Amino acid sequence: MTAPTATFGQRLRTAMAEHGPLCAGLDPHQSLVESWGLTYDLHGLRAFTGACVEAFGGHVGIVKPQSAFFEVFGSAGIAVLEEAIRDLRAAGTLVLLDAKRGDIGSTMSAYAAAYLGSSASAPADALTVSPYLGFESLRPALDAAADNGRGVFVLALTSNPEGPSVQHARHDGVSVAESMVVGAAAENAAALATGDLGSTGLVVGATIGTAAHDLGLDLAGVNGPLLAPGVGAQGGTPEGLRRVFGDALPNVLPASSREVLAAGPGVPDLRAAVARTNEDLARLLH
């Protein structure tokens, strides 16, 4: 498979300019599937996913399927996920697979090959990764992404209550979160020199309040996309994004799943929810 001629960061910047900053979640959670009047089985999974692909493909800059909600159905569920990835990309929509993979050595290399490699069966445009075995444990994924025009989003500051016990912890005066910021910025240095958005992003929760400021993190200096989960039903607001990200706002991808998906099952209703959310975000970001 030939790598794209443009980097992931370049393609993402173009997609955001054309469709808005929203990252639409594709989360076939049981409660959502059943709220659409569907059965929570493989048939319901296919119907739910198909409606989302039809609604989002070509209408959203980037879509984030949550791998776990497909994996729960075994190999048949993964086949539905792979088909969705292919169909979204064929429609010109970027796909960020939320799988949060992380390991060391040959295992991380295998994850990198599976999701970001040149021979991956249904490669996404980017992948979420977990760095808590050390930022450099991600090297196989970082290198595979760079070699194949793809991206990674590194967990940095998550909104779960347990996150600060790890992410705010300091070693030699440097917080774990800051080490992720520094690592991502280093990966994006070449893109910064050319004026492009880097392809190594961070995951920073939309509801973390002043944590980034309190830890002294230079999120704008990362020069990479900042995925902000939690907008909408999880409590994140457009106004809250400004408090969290400050001058890094132009690089923020606010992610909304339940807020948008609750508008289903009708495709026009899903598209209308996307449009409303993007309009709200556009007013904030511009």
Residue 64 known to be catalytic: no
CA dihedral 104, 107, 110, 112 (to 10 degrees): -20
Q: Which amino acid is at 42?
A: L
Residue 168 has which token pair?
Answer: 């705010």
266 Cβ neighbours under 8 A, 6+ residues apart = 51
**pLDDT digit string (tens) for 38-95?**
999 999 999 999 999 999 999 999 999 999 999 999 999 999 999 999 999 999 999 9
Tokens 């409590």, residue located = 235
The pLDDT of residue 280 is 82
The model carries a pTM of 0.94
Domain boundaries, the chain: 8-285
CA distance 235 to 240: 9
The pLDDT of residue 259 is 87
Q: What is the pLDDT along the chain (286 residues), one digit of tens a residue?
A: 555 679 999 999 999 999 999 999 999 999 999 999 999 999 999 999 999 999 999 999 999 999 999 999 999 999 999 999 999 999 999 999 999 999 999 999 999 999 999 999 889 999 999 999 999 999 999 999 999 999 999 999 998 889 999 999 999 999 999 999 999 999 999 999 999 999 999 999 988 888 999 999 999 999 999 999 977 555 556 667 888 898 899 999 999 888 899 999 999 999 999 999 888 887 766 6
- Residue 216 CB neighbours (<10 A): 11
The pLDDT of residue 4 is 65
Nearest alpha carbon to residue 127 among 83, 186, 117: 117
Catalytic residue among 100, 213, 258, 271: 100
Say which CATH architecture domain 8-285 belongs to: Alpha-Beta Barrel (3.20)
Which residues are bridge partners to 152 per DSSP? 127, 200
Phi-psi category of residue 51: left, alpha or beta, with phi > 0 → left and psi -120 to 50 → alpha = alpha
**pLDDT digit string (tens) for 251-276?**
999 998 888 999 999 999 999 999 99
The pLDDT of residue 178 is 96
Q: Provide the total of helices (H) and of strands (E) in the chain, helices listed first.
A: 14, 10
The pLDDT of residue 282 is 78
The pLDDT of residue 238 is 64
